[in-house]
Structure 1
Amino acid sequence: MTLKTLLLSFLTTCTAHSAVAQTLGGVEYSPKATTFHITTSPDVKKVNVLLSDTDSDNSTEQLTKQMKRVGAGKWKLTVKSDLKGKYYLFSVYNSAQPDNTPGIFAKAVGVNGKRGAIVDLRDTDPEGWADDVRPTLNNPCDLVIYEMHHRDFSVDLSSGLKHKGKYLALTEPKAIEHLQRLGVNAVHILPSFDYASVDESKSDVPQYNWGYDPLNYNVPEGSYSTDAATPTTRIREFKQMVQALHRAGIRVILDVVYNHTFDINGSNFQKTYPDYFYRKTAEGKYSDGSGCGNETASEKPLMREFMKESVEYWIKEYHIDGFRFDLMGVHDIETMNEIRAMVDQIDPSIYIYGEGWSAGSCAYPQEKLAMKANTKQLNGIGAFCDDMRDALRGPFSDDHKGGFLIGEPDQEESIKFGIVGAIAHPQIDMTKVNYSREAWTNEPSQMVAYVSCHDDMCLTDRLRATVPYITDDELIRLDLLAQTAVLTSQGVPFILSGEEMLRDKKSVHNSFRSPDSINRLDWNNLKRYPQVFDYYAGLIALRKAHPAFRMGKAEEVRKHLEFVDAPKGVVAFRLKDNAGGDAWRNIYVVLNSQKTPQNVKVAEGSYTKVVANGKVNAEGLGLISGTTLTVAPQSALIVHD
């Protein structure tokens, strides 16, 4: 049987998603029997299951059970006894010496993910889990996403949180209250699956990594739990976190990293089916579009099915509400669309977005990859807008080069492009936009607006790098101006955790393994800079209260959003004629990066200021009459009639 015939047979016979996951290498538990499944290379002659009572490599109580071949590359074993609490490994004879692996779809593991664990997943459900409800979302543009790392958020003494650096920190009243006061309605957690770079057995030793080094894709990371040695604890505590956020009206978005593994030889993919899951160049070398030493092959049927099954599993077992795809540009368009279609059958409100680029050249045609330029071919999937990001603060490639915020010329068009949600708009001159020569979204909901994220200098560090000797006063003015652009743009706004506290990372650009002293949030900043939090919270509340700022359709944006003539270094636009059905008839937004007051001509009328001079008040900050709006230096002005 050829590989092509084998894969066609596999896809034909696997009619249910759950069956695919089990066939790819999973465990079905019941008190009466446990069934093991795995799919290997058709060339494999033998596969055993190694059962043990402990998670130790030196276990003397190891029992070997031979699996039965049930098809080309398919293996199955049923053990008719209660194996709950046991550990297992698949021993795959890819060569004379077997590769031992928990399989590619382990759902529970021991410390550091070396062995699979046999658990009853219903034992991991917190009280009331069956009644957990996903917070309502009518349109992706209603989201305000808050990107956070578990340790960053809670590890510092100043947080006042008990479960520092743990899932359970996000169940504590202080954490929940902070997020609710800020107004965000979605938390994007950095990779929280079982990853390789932190030693879970050393819970008393400070260790840090962002987690973009996957080991077991379908098990929560143990270092964020209170007990990595007990396989059910990490699962239960992750669910408690989701449940607490849901009860607070906050959705949970999981950062997923299917584009590469921590390494090749040590990966469960390679141990299960050597070389199948990775792309190679024409010269036979492993391709490295991820910049991490390898790239996975999403276009291959088994990898595609694995990704679909994994996403579905996180939705159904952990009630996840959205997915951010790391280096989405490594994946093929067809796979991403199949994932979107599968998710739509479960809940169309689950938001999917990703990085519309790769970190290197991929061994697959670029026109078939989920790059930002191909977003129009992605059905309801979003991408980050680096056009607007870099126009605001400067290019990713040069930390010391600034953008609109510090008065760099000719950035206005790129900011306008972000403001409309990266759609085609008659007032946008695409020849002047940073990286795009044509609109790349079908609808504004496909654009994620942001000025900073984990993967770069945070906003305050970037401003300090581009404005030597900047004062705190100027820093805060420019910080607030940047986030005003983000939070008044059409599309989906996204902020990095701690920005509301005027966070810094001591100018470290790539802090993926920097210590807590670099990455942690200093909660004392809430007392030092209360005006920053108040502005962020006020602006988020303004956005949520007024649908003009979050129109979901491109035609609405083209009809109701028009740009107003403005001086250099100023971007001004009008949301007109009750945009989005807003109670305010006309809204003007003016962004002034200049160090002097600037004037913008508007239709004659009487206007109420709601944002001015670094303050937000939806009830009004004063009145302006006439045909001229004057905006203070390095600040935003928002008025309505």
Structure 2
Amino acid sequence: MFAPNDAKQITVRVYKDGLGGKAIKRVKMQKTGNECWTATIKGDLMGKFYTFDMGKGECPGVFAKAVGANGKRGAIINMASTDPEHWCCDERPVTKSPADLIIYEMHHRDFSINRQDAQYPGKFMALTEPWAIDHLKSLGINAVHILPSYDYGSVDETRLSDNKYNWGYDPVNYNVPEGGYSTNPYKPEVRIREFKQMVQALHKAGIRVILDVVYNHTYDIEHSNFQRTYPDYFYRKTADGQYSNGSGCGNETASEKPMMRQFMIESVKYWINEFHIDGFRFDLMGVHDIETMNAIRKAVNDIDPTIFIYGEGWSAGACAIPNEQLGMKANIPQMPTIAAFSDEIRDALRGPFSDDKQPAFLAGLAGHKESIKFGIAGAISHPQVDMTKVNYSKEPWATEPTQMISYVSCHDDMCLVDRLQSSIPGITTEELIKLDLLAQTAVFTSQGVPFMLSGEELLRNKKGVHNSFESPDSINQLNWDNLKQYPQVFNYYKNLIQLRKNHPAFRLGNADLVRKHLEFIDAPESVVAFRLKNYAGRDDWRNIIVVLNANKEPMELTIPDGHYTIVCCDGTINENGLGTLKGSKAIVDAQSALILHD
């Protein structure tokens, strides 16, 4: 155990159960090295539970890998016994480049709680069921980003019938799956086995699993395992001795300290080796220092360099160390093969995070074209992008397009449907669908790594709630009836994803190739147009033109003279062709995308 040298006494307690009852053994730990404490307990302890106590309250320590209900006590189990059948043969789906990923962000409960044929609604095991796998495969995504799935604090695992909801950004035990998503939170091995079964089922379907990790803060300070193990070591403080709050959650962890850095590295490696995780999304990556993020990247590369790492390139408040040292978006060039979300393309499409009612490009407003072009290029330097007109960033922050996550909505903030309804008063359902599809066309034809929120393919809404982190199921659950009500939405998403997968010009994955083959075309205001030129991904698709029109009327523009096949027009995609166009004039329908190839 890692604890202060001057600790007066550290006691290990052994319990029969994960909750309640008195300790059946008590053993004092001995200091055996610098800040290192150990104890040996004789006997067969399999199935027992333990805590550490150094006078600040009992806890399972920071390295617990199995726990009882609510994570109060560590559990002693044989990890090998948690492996599903054929776990040793489980393989990571092949991905040649991050640009090939199509990421689907989901919350376990949202996805399955309202599904009538779900055997395990709201649980890890729901993602092993045929209906779930079939939906994801039919949509065409190849990576799921699951919201925090480690043991978190806001849901009482002994009162799951209360249906209390939370996203899970309140960490307690970082290396243990959340018991609320298991079928039995009281048995430590169940949550571990079921998490592995989920990963195994997704892998068999060719879908990678990305874990949302929240190392930047803990549920609180006083009761955290960090604080009870080594008071104040794991947290940053300001110059006046107050706890720094770069996370916006009352505390921020100190990734630059050796043991916190090592903890993060070992935790990531553990999820890869024990649970076969394929990627990590770092919550508020801008709270962590650059050196730690690069150390994590190096450790992951030693296991498998195709494991994808990305994060939010910002913090929620001022941190106790300078921005120049932090994993901010502007510092992405110092973090090779680590990616960040592009709020440039997101807000240029739908409006700023700070004002739900303010619209942007999708409402036909002028002034957002360069920001969208910047996003389409993958946040790299491109000769046709005028950085003086790009929102938020005045210089490119990605050295490769695979360092940019392209998206228009995620769990955080309004979902796309709610945002469109909030920012465009009086919008009709027809317009809503048109603009929804137009927004995602920008995302999925960009050179970054495309990312979507689960349920967007169902025209999901959250009844206008901006921050639904603890809203009930009635707000957060997917409405599966929308599949029948809006089949055109699912079909467009499905065909758009397939279009990207079939044609590598949309996912060049290299900055020099993007600058060589991506050419923006002059277009009217509130129209963005570009050509992917002379890229022989397929002989019959040597030149591809994409036009995005947010205006309420059709727009005409001049394109390179040619004989084109139309594959996307007025909300329909068909790679076999919807018609032909000959010459140098193209008309794109109102509030929709036009995609052509010659």
TM-score of the pair, normalised by structure 1:
0.92
Unpaired stretches in structure 2, ≥5 consecutive residues: none
Please give the residue correspondences for 1:306-321 in structure 2 after superposition, counting only pairs within 5 Å.
Answer: 306-321=263-278
Q: Give the secondary structure class of the aligned counterpart of 2:160.
A: coil
Q: Distance in 2 between matches of 1:416 and 1:542?
A: 20
How many Å apart are 1:73 and its aligned residue?
1.6
Please give the residue correspondences for 1:271-286 in structure 2 after superposition, counting only pairs within 5 Å.
Answer: 271-286=228-243
Q: Give the secondary structure class of the aligned counterpart of 1:573.
A: strand
Q: Distance in 2 between matches of 1:220 and 1:172?
A: 19
* Contact 2:19 2:68 survives alignment (8 Å): no
Equivalent of residue 41 in structure 2, options 79, 87, 108: 79
Q: Distance in 2 between matches of 1:124 and 1:582?
A: 50
Count of aligned pairs: 598
How many Å apart are 1:83 and its aligned residue?
1.1
Q: 1:123 — aligned with what?
A: 81
Q: 1:44 — aligned with what?
A: 7
Q: Distance in 1 between matches of 2:19 and 2:554?
A: 68
* Contact 1:547 1:582 survives alignment (8 Å): no
Q: Give the secondary structure class of the aligned counterpart of 1:197.
A: coil
* Contact 1:500 1:532 survives alignment (8 Å): yes
* Contact 2:236 2:252 survives alignment (8 Å): yes
Q: 1:10 — aligned with what?
A: none
* Contact 1:159 1:522 survives alignment (8 Å): no
Q: 1:413 — aligned with what?
A: 370
C-alpha RMSD over aligned residues: 0.9
Q: Distance in 1 between matches of 2:333 and 2:471?
A: 37
* Contact 2:285 2:311 survives alignment (8 Å): yes
Cα-to-partner distance string for 1:88-147 (whole Å, 9 max, x where unaligned): 00122xxxx453110001000000000000010011000010110000000000000000
Please give the residue correspondences for 1:192-203 in structure 2 after superposition, counting only pairs within 5 Å.
Answer: 192-203=149-160
* Contact 2:438 2:592 survives alignment (8 Å): yes
Q: Distance in 2 between matches of 1:72 and 1:100?
A: 22
Q: 1:53 — aligned with what?
A: 16
Equivalent of residue 136 in structure 1, options 89, 94, 115: 94
* Contact 2:96 2:306 survives alignment (8 Å): yes
Q: Distance in 2 between matches of 1:98 and 1:202?
A: 26
Unpaired stretches in structure 1, ≥5 consecutive residues: 1-37
Q: Distance in 2 between matches of 1:582 and 1:49?
A: 68
The answer to whether residue 293 in structure 2 is matched with residue 336 in structure 1 is yes
Equivalent of residue 525 in structure 1, options 468, 482, 486: 482
Q: 1:67 — aligned with what?
A: 29
Q: Distance in 1 between matches of 2:416 and 2:329?
A: 23
* Contact 1:215 1:268 survives alignment (8 Å): yes
* Contact 1:548 1:581 survives alignment (8 Å): no
Please give the residue correspondences for 1:38-437 in structure 2 after superposition, counting only pairs within 5 Å.
Answer: 38-57=1-20, 59-92=21-54, 97-156=55-114, 158-437=115-394
Equivalent of residue 588 in structure 1, options 545, 549, 571: 545
How many Å apart are 1:160 and its aligned residue?
2.3
Q: Which runs of 4+ in 1 moved over 6 A?
A: none
Cα-to-partner distance string for 1:315-342 (whole Å, 9 max, x where unaligned): 0000000000000000000000000000
Q: Give the secondary structure class of the aligned counterpart of 2:40.
A: strand
Q: Give the secondary structure class of the aligned counterpart of 1:636.
A: strand
Q: Distance in 1 between matches of 2:339 and 2:414?
A: 23
Q: Distance in 2 between matches of 1:168 and 1:435?
A: 41
Q: Give the secondary structure class of the aligned counterpart of 1:78.
A: coil
In structure 1, give the amino acid aligned to 2:104. Y
Q: 1:25 — aligned with what?
A: none
Q: Distance in 2 between matches of 1:579 and 1:344?
A: 31
How many Å apart are 1:583 and its aligned residue?
5.1
Q: Distance in 1 between matches of 2:116 and 2:522?
A: 45
Please give the residue correspondences for 1:542-621 in structure 2 after superposition, counting only pairs within 5 Å.
Answer: 542-578=499-535, 584-621=541-578
In structure 1, give the amino acid aligned to 2:51. L
Q: 1:634 — aligned with what?
A: 591
In structure 2, give the amino acid aligned to 1:123. S
Q: Give the secondary structure class of the aligned counterpart of 2:161.
A: coil
In structure 2, give the amino acid aligned to 1:369. L
In structure 2, give the amino acid aligned to 1:513. E
Q: Percent identity?
A: 64
Q: 2:472 — aligned with what?
A: 515
How many Å apart are 1:162 and its aligned residue?
1.3
How many Å apart are 1:582 and its aligned residue?
6.7
How many Å apart are 1:45 and its aligned residue?
2.7
Q: Give the secondary structure class of the aligned counterpart of 1:44.
A: coil
Q: Distance in 2 between matches of 1:52 and 1:410?
A: 64
How many Å apart are 1:602 and its aligned residue?
1.2
Q: Distance in 1 between matches of 2:539 and 2:179?
A: 46
Q: 1:161 to 1:582 in 2, by over 3 A?
A: farther
Q: Give the secondary structure class of the aligned counterpart of 2:519.
A: strand
* Contact 1:546 1:582 survives alignment (8 Å): no
In structure 1, give the amino acid aligned to 2:219. F
Q: 1:282 to 1:39 in 2, by over 3 A?
A: same
The range that moved more, 254-263 or 596-605, is 596-605
* Contact 2:15 2:50 survives alignment (8 Å): yes
Q: Distance in 1 between matches of 2:539 and 2:141?
A: 21
TM-score of the pair, normalised by structure 2:
0.99
Q: 1:533 to 1:448 in 2, by over 3 A?
A: same
Q: Give the secondary structure class of the aligned counterpart of 1:39.
A: coil
* Contact 2:13 2:23 survives alignment (8 Å): no
How many Å apart are 1:491 and its aligned residue?
1.2
Q: Give the secondary structure class of the aligned counterpart of 1:84.
A: coil
Q: Distance in 1 between matches of 2:252 and 2:160?
A: 31
Please give the residue correspondences for 1:400-479 in structure 2 after superposition, counting only pairs within 5 Å.
Answer: 400-479=357-436
Please give the residue correspondences for 1:488-503 in structure 2 after superposition, counting only pairs within 5 Å.
Answer: 488-503=445-460
Q: Distance in 2 between matches of 1:602 and 1:562?
A: 11
Q: Distance in 2 between matches of 1:44 and 1:65?
A: 15
Q: Distance in 2 between matches of 1:42 and 1:389?
A: 49
In structure 2, give the amino acid aligned to 1:41. P
* Contact 1:546 1:583 survives alignment (8 Å): no
How many Å apart are 1:77 and its aligned residue?
1.8
Q: Give the secondary structure class of the aligned counterpart of 1:188.
A: strand
